[in-house]
Chain A
């Protein structure tokens, strides 16, 4: 332990020193300056919510001293013990809250030491004081008020903005004395936008064409071209697959195969045909209930059926039926509304005004399904669970022609479908299936927006209408924020899945609202939104980070440089396959099983079911895009997980971005990367023996720019030294080339190919290669 203490002490010391130095400098960027009114929503609520609401908030059962600080009437009222007021507007010294947060007496101070919430810091105390002085005005939580279109702000550098987004961004930047970077050079910009829109790096032809086009509209033209590609739908689908916790098996212990993939094919197609977001949601929430619903609309509801499903013998069906509905409720609230409501499953929410009753009323929308909790153990497995939709060959040729499979016999998908009669929904005490309480009817969260039972049916169709109403304060905000995160690496609201009171505040609230309202006003048009973002000057900035900017704004909250992030897991694979020429561009169809380290499924299986052993695919199925890699829930594909992909166990709206030695090992030793290096090297060598030209061409394919002279020199020397090693021992070269199932080029010079393969493998391992910058 000594060593750790020591290390901690050293780090602590350095941090303390740094903290003093940079906190002073950054003070203006990070905290509110001394003057001006204090905002309840932006300054005070985060403090009260984090430090007080757990005991003095919405949860009636946990409320201490009968005191509630989240609503004005209660906070202003005389305290229950009759001694004064919690908050006395205008007079901090007479407010119990202020007295207690500034107290040093452990028996009196708040938060109490036992709560482990920590005391307020000086800055926070100062804000609370000023807020009380200014009248302690409460406001409705910002995210629960309907957004209105803000005016586009004036900025001083008028020649920089390319569209409205830039006005909002620049105004913030100017406010803190930052200025935007120059536009990224053409090669980096093209790589960035191609990866963001299609998930694939630009081809060499595209690079050359864009480089040669000196026209003013060159960039816009390329954006339109990319948006029109079918690969756009694949790229967009990836994040929604995380939201939808899509997988190819049932999860739980035996983890048998299931076929939800036709829904995934629908999803890709929905993005490609640019289905408007309100319809996109309506179909997935209630496609089966739409008037004259067609099969495509019913298929969309499979979104809610991607949850795990148990086939463990001996379970109690009702326990699991409830569990599946809890999962659906979570997916809806987190993925669509950007709220965490799970707490209210067992008790009133501690931070947000969501009661346990509210929770079960929302739960009730999903509780009338024909779904069962258990359909038998794995010996009676089927690839879909009731209610099920089957797809005929005829339908796959017409209405559902996006389903990529020639033979659809026995193809079935789990979808939504309700009972004809109403199954009563109970509030479940402590959230437990066998402790039913009062019966409630279906309604959406009143804190967000009233669910008008006169105008809306109390079923999923009503929920869909409520969700896609232009008055709903969350739906559009949450979505544009999610899309923003896709392009900039972090949302305007950083906590993408929590727009509640404990969530992060928007770093640019006016921009968020402008995007949301503009999006709704233009028919919830997703492609338009995406185009708006990628054509903004904000997006087009160079990603270079100067010392000054790094110091002033390490998180790039003010967006004074372009985004620079490592690619998501699926795209790392796509990058390798596409630049080597191995990529099989087929869209959709059943998931595939590419190379995977031996023994993983076998080590973890119960020994039952068709997925107990990993049956690797052969031929061109080995070269499909990362999003088609088979996801067995109990053993998700390792190279994906190592690069932070979701394990698809639950709805996820944000992946972490780590940098680990295991990632290095994948890029160095995964046969996929080695095979791609080998295949590209062999193809090059067969065409030409010109070392310099081959290195240059590989570099341009893989890194998507011309190499510098320094890089050329280094890589050429590396090539020469490897070639000289291999020429002494041709068997060695053969050994190196002997990787992967893809056929070798005939008559290839093995020494040259092996040396070039080493160079290419180094290129794949460059940080820049798997980074959008």
Chain B
């Protein structure tokens, strides 16, 4: 059976497919948001054959991802990677033997000294694994047994833009498809009324770095795979709301008339794109009901509000986005991407990080607990982390209780939960200065390869041929991190 499929794959087009099938197959086949893009339109080069080879590549452990991106780079040394040596040597220079050849950003490269800065926050061990966490994260600490804490993420970029882009697209530069777009392309959506890849933004009070829509771009994949940004404004999805004075009955009537007009055009031209257009209007109509239902927090029971914290009722906050992420994910949205800005503490770190943790600690933990109580944690992979870590030495003036930290790409902490990763473990080790990795490094490409694996995708096989080259999320690298897979 594989042979004819292969042939068909390279010889067909979306138009052809539609003309043969979908007039009868109904809305299912027409929602490009629903099925993988097996039947590409005019744009892009065919990448169909590989995809047709059968997806997912093997039985998946996770069906969906929620990525809680901590934009700006939280300090692993004040949250997870406990290093008493830094307190001991507080104010002393980072030994050159440790710093090695690491390139530094222009912000600290010219500093005469690199004084080590111990965290002012208290650390304790939590859960069965005895994971160290600081006092800033009491809620996360309480679910330590659900977390898989990786202390040895590392990246190549030293500035925000390329580092973020690297995490989200697998390359530091270039208009590559983002992670969520790859999943939408590879696995499609489970829900007919919602996009397969949703993006939610929030901002803390700490020093912020912008986000960019290229982080959820479809790149060279069809634009149906682009992340759809939800907003806390009056339109939860762009252009979703009908204008004033247009109720549902009137909208329905208009669409019925429109469908009839379009049918006339179809009768004359026979172009299957016309029928597809009618179906897209129908999906738009359904989205207009489905999206407001899902973004409406007013019906959430008190127990949920208590769990996520009162802020979850304030649209646009991190807590509200966590709750929304759970609801979207529950409805089958493949990839929910959150960004919380404000972690870029080059100075005044102790104050800034306190505020950031207030924003995210309770809601992040609540999301895990909530998924778990609904029986969804097993099939949902939750990821928490930033684009790099922060230095063990101080940027700017070091005092007893104030310091700043520059960007540190060599080792930083990210945690995962659910989705077939081992719960309650700490993976990887850094040296006593928290500067270099001494055991089990996890490069960004490895991280991507492993997440794809949890979703039943072989990162070497999930490819798209564009301008003569087969592209992958993991470029030409990436190894499975077997030690974290349950």
A-to-B contact residues, CB < 8 Å: 1, 3-4, 7-8, 11-12, 14-16, 18-20, 22-23, 26, 30, 116, 118, 121-122, 252-255, 310, 312-317, 323, 334, 340, 343, 350-352, 374, 434, 489-490, 494-495, 497-498, 500-504, 543-547, 550-551, 554-555, 564-566, 597-600, 603-607, 633-636, 638-639, 641-642, 644, 647, 649-650, 652, 654-666, 668-671, 674, 708, 710-711, 714-715, 718, 721-722, 725, 732-733, 735-736, 738-739, 754, 758, 761-762, 765-768, 771, 773
Contact = CB atoms under 8 A, between A and B. Distances in A.
Nearest to B19: A550
A554 B42 contact: no
B245 A736 contact: yes
Interface in B236-273: 237-246, 250-251, 253-254, 257-258, 260-262, 264-265, 268-273
- Interface centre among B1, B59, B234, B245, by most chain A C-beta atoms within 10 angstroms, is B245
27 contacts: A8-B55, A11-B29, A12-B5, A19-B8, A22-B16, A314-B407, A317-B106, A334-B467, A340-B469, A500-B468, A545-B269, A564-B271, A597-B231, A605-B210, A647-B175, A650-B174, A658-B43, A659-B32, A660-B280, A662-B239, A665-B238, A665-B287, A669-B242, A669-B243, A671-B243, A765-B254, A768-B262
A4 B188 contact: yes
Nearest to A655: B43
Contacts of A636: 213
Given A253-B160, A656-B41, A767 B245 contact: no
Given A313-B107, A766-B258, 15 more contacts: A11-B38, A15-B8, A19-B5, A312-B161, A316-B103, A603-B201, A604-B201, A634-B213, A636-B213, A656-B41, A656-B222, A662-B238, A721-B253, A758-B250, A767-B278
B173 interface: yes
A367 to B, nearest CB: 18
Given A116-B460, A565-B42, A658 B264 contact: no
Contacts of B161: 252-253, 310, 312
Interface of B: 1, 3-8, 11-13, 15-16, 19-21, 28-29, 31-33, 35, 38, 41-45, 49-50, 53, 55-56, 59-60, 63, 103, 105-109, 158-161, 173-175, 187-188, 190, 201, 203, 208-214, 217, 222-224, 226, 228-229, 231-235, 237-246, 250-251, 253-254, 257-258, 260-262, 264-265, 268-274, 276-278, 280-281, 283-284, 287-288, 406-407, 456, 460-461, 463, 467-469
Contacts of A323: 173
B254 A635 contact: no
A740 B224 CA distance: 29
Contacts of B244: 735-736, 738-739
Contact of A670 (B12, B239, B250): B239
A547 B276 CA distance: 17
Contacts of B109: 316
A652 B175 CA distance: 10
Contacts of B108: 314
B11 A30 contact: yes
B280 A664 contact: yes
Contacts of B103: 316, 434
Contacts of A670: 239
Given A1-B63, A554-B15, A762-B257, A659 B467 contact: no
B4 A23 contact: yes
Contact of B243 (A597, A598, A739): A739
B466 to A, nearest CB: 9
A118 B49 contact: yes
Contacts of B33: 660-661
- Interface centre among A26, A547, A639, A668, by most chain B C-beta atoms within 10 angstroms, is A668
A741 B260 CA distance: 32
Nearest to B34: A7
A550 B15 contact: yes
Contacts of B210: 253-255, 604-607, 634
A508 B169 CA distance: 37
Nearest to B44: A656
Q: Which 6 A-B pairs have the closest CB atoms?
A: A656-B43, A502-B468, A19-B8, A554-B16, A314-B107, A314-B105
A23 B11 contact: yes
Contacts of A30: 11
Contact of A7 (B28, B106, B233): B28
A658 B105 contact: no
Given A554-B16, A599-B233, A661-B283, A564 B242 contact: no
A122 to B, nearest CB: 8
Nearest to A765: B258
Given A489-B42, A598-B233, A544 B269 contact: yes
Contact of A669 (B21, B241, B283): B241
A634 B136 CA distance: 33
Contacts of B60: 1
A556 to B, nearest CB: 9
A508 B470 CA distance: 26
A669 B242 CA distance: 6
Nearest to B60: A1
B269 A773 contact: yes
B261 A714 contact: yes
Contact of A118 (B50, B159, B243): B50
Contact of A312 (B28, B31, B160): B160
A544 B242 contact: no
A659 B41 contact: yes
Contacts of A733: 245
A657 B173 contact: no
Given A504-B45, A721-B253, A767-B274, A604 B213 contact: yes
Contact of A654 (B43, B229, B241, B463): B43
Contact of B234 (A598, A661, A715, A738): A598
Nearest to B233: A599
A638 B4 CA distance: 40
A767 B266 CA distance: 9
A19 B258 CA distance: 34
B257 A658 contact: no
- Interface centre among B3, B270, B460, B467, by most chain A C-beta atoms within 10 angstroms, is B467
- Interface centre among A7, A502, A665, A721, by most chain B C-beta atoms within 10 angstroms, is A665
A311 B473 CA distance: 28
A766 B261 contact: yes
- Interface centre among B12, B174, B260, by most chain A C-beta atoms within 10 angstroms, is B12
B245 A762 contact: no
A552 to B, nearest CB: 10
Contacts of A121: 3, 6-7
Nearest to B200: A603
Nearest to B37: A658
A340 B103 CA distance: 31
Contacts of B250: 722, 725, 758
B5 A16 contact: yes
A600 B190 contact: no
B238 A544 contact: no
B230 to A, nearest CB: 10
A766 to B, nearest CB: 5
Contacts of A711: 261, 264
- Interface centre among B50, B53, B257, by most chain A C-beta atoms within 10 angstroms, is B257
- Interface centre among B5, B21, B283, B469, by most chain A C-beta atoms within 10 angstroms, is B469
A762 B212 contact: no
Contacts of A635: 212-213
A657 B264 contact: no
A754 B232 CA distance: 30
